[in-house]
Amino acid sequence: MLTKFLTVDNVMAEAQNLRKLRQIQTPLLGEENTPLHAAPGGGTGYESVTPRHSVSFTPNPLATPFRVGESDASATPRIGSTPLRTPLRDNLNLNPDGSDPSSKRALRSAFANLPKPANDFEIVLPEDDDAEDDANGVAGTEEDAAERDARLARRRAEEERKALARRSLVVQRGLPRPVEVDVDRLLSTLPTDEAANELSVAQKLVDAELIRLLQHDTIAHPLPGTSRPGGTKSLYEHPTDDDVASAKVLVLQEVASSLGLSNEADSAISQRLSELTLGSGDTSTSWASVRETLAFEAQTKQWTDASSLTPAVRVSGIAYLLDYDRDTMAREAERTNKQEKKLGVQLGGYQARSKALTKRLTQSFEALQAGAIDLESLRHLSTMERGAAPARVEKLTMSVDSLERRERGLQDRYRELSEEKAAVLERIAALEEQLMESAAAMMDGDDVEMEA
């Protein structure tokens, strides 16, 4: 009955809804929304200014399902087919039309031959900073962002300092070192003492460690000219920081005991060693002095003592180094030319664009300079005009006043002359009248005499 009422009188239903909306409290106070009358289709059709029209169309007797095409979803479904089914997205063409069981078995066997997933993973738990927070006395409180950033920055700086301290002193100080290291050849050149004792064994271990450290420096910190490919990793295992610190302490103690400085601090021992090695002014152990005593041998391709070589061997070594440097320069020049050509091909358009923009920029800058000069000139002219304007106005005012005074004088003179002219004309008129009267009188007298 309610549905019939709503469909028959939608205006009355909308009026009831409006009345309920005005009388009910706001839902923000805990009240529930009022139930509104709605038509079966949703709403009464009067939700806006323009009512909604519901027109029933006359069905078309010709639009029957059996006359609709096979692709129409409203057609009567055939036996064995599912209407309104989502089409299969077979982008990989796994189910081609007309596939036979053999192709399906081949596809299934191909899937079976795929490699099995390797469930090789590690579970890394997050670091527990509770102990650190408890040690700092901030347990149960949230760390400030600035303090956290400062702590992380200090930790990174400490890690960088430790990483720098793990490098050899040669790398830290930038001292000369070989570009390539042949470990096997260097190990073969080590002296072999048949009567091995503890000191010789220790010296051999130190030399082997030094050779491995040299090789690590050439890999981890390569120099220009190396033949190793980029990204090569060194297999050298760094000793722990505690072992290195302990070794330094033992070395300093040994040196101090040999110098009689056992009761002094490490800094004093280091200073004393520096005074003994460098403070005396002896430069015999510096690289510059040692380099002068060495010569290159072309046969063995290594630097040896110059005094042990003949002049001919030394000249051949120098010639070999000169040819090697020339070949290196030629190779580098050829490689540079190739790279320059490649860059010219890649950057030709950018260079042309750069030249065009540079020209436009130069012209714009020149125009800007000219405009700035004109602007400055006009500003200077404006300043001069503002300064000269009062004097010019005063001069023109004085000239106007003088002309006005002259005009007034001339006007007065003109008035006087006009009055004088009028007086003269009156006198002339009076004289003419007198003459006329005299002439008339004389003519009358002559007429009387003639009559007499």
| 425's tokens | 């004309």
Residue type for 333, please? A
Of 187-196, 344-353, 406-415, highest mean pLDDT:
406-415
- Confidence class for position 1, pLDDT limits 50, 70, 90: very low
Q: Report whether 216 contacts 232 (CB < 8 A).
A: no
Residue type for 70, please? E
| 51's tokens | 């009512």
Burial of 20 (0-12, 13-18, 19+ CB in 10 A): middle
Q: How far apart are CA 220 and CA 235, in angstroms?
A: 10
Q: How far apart are CA 184 and CA 90, in angstroms?
A: 61
Q: Report whether 236 contacts 250 (CB < 8 A).
A: no
* Residue in the block written with tokens 């990483």: 163
Averaged confidence pLDDT in the chain: 76
Segment (H or E) for 298: none
Q: Which DSSP symbol is given to 281?
A: -
Sign of CA dihedral 35, 37, 39, 40: positive
* Spatial CA neighbour of 179 closest among 235, 224, 231, 236: 224
pLDDT in tens, 278-310: 544 454 556 677 778 888 888 888 888 888 888
What distances in angstroms separate CA 352 from CA 340, 344, 349, 410, one per listed residue? Answer: 16, 11, 5, 80
Model confidence at 190: pLDDT above 50: yes
* Residue in the block written with tokens 């009355």: 12
| 215's tokens | 């090789």
* Spatial CA neighbour of 167 closest among 258, 91, 238: 238
pLDDT in tens, 129-173: 555 554 454 555 677 888 889 999 999 998 888 888 888 888 888
Q: How far apart are CA 297 and CA 312, in angstroms?
A: 10
pLDDT in tens, 432-446: 888 888 888 888 777
Q: What is the pLDDT of residue 105?
A: 77
Q: What residues contact residue 130 under an 8 Å CB cut-off, 6+ apart?
A: 139
The 3-state DSSP class for residue 304 equals: strand
* Residue in the block written with tokens 């070594």: 317
Q: What is the pLDDT of residue 241?
A: 82
Q: How far apart are CA 191 and CA 41, in angstroms?
A: 104
What distances in angstroms separate CA 373 from CA 7, 332, 362, 364, one per listed residue? Answer: 85, 51, 16, 14
Q: Report whether 213 contacts 219 (CB < 8 A).
A: no
Q: Report whether 337 contacts 325 (CB < 8 A).
A: no
Residue 83: how many CA atoms within 13 Å on its side-chain side? 10
Q: What is the pLDDT of residue 169?
A: 82
* Residue in the block written with tokens 């990793």: 233
- Confidence class for position 415, pLDDT limits 50, 70, 90: very high
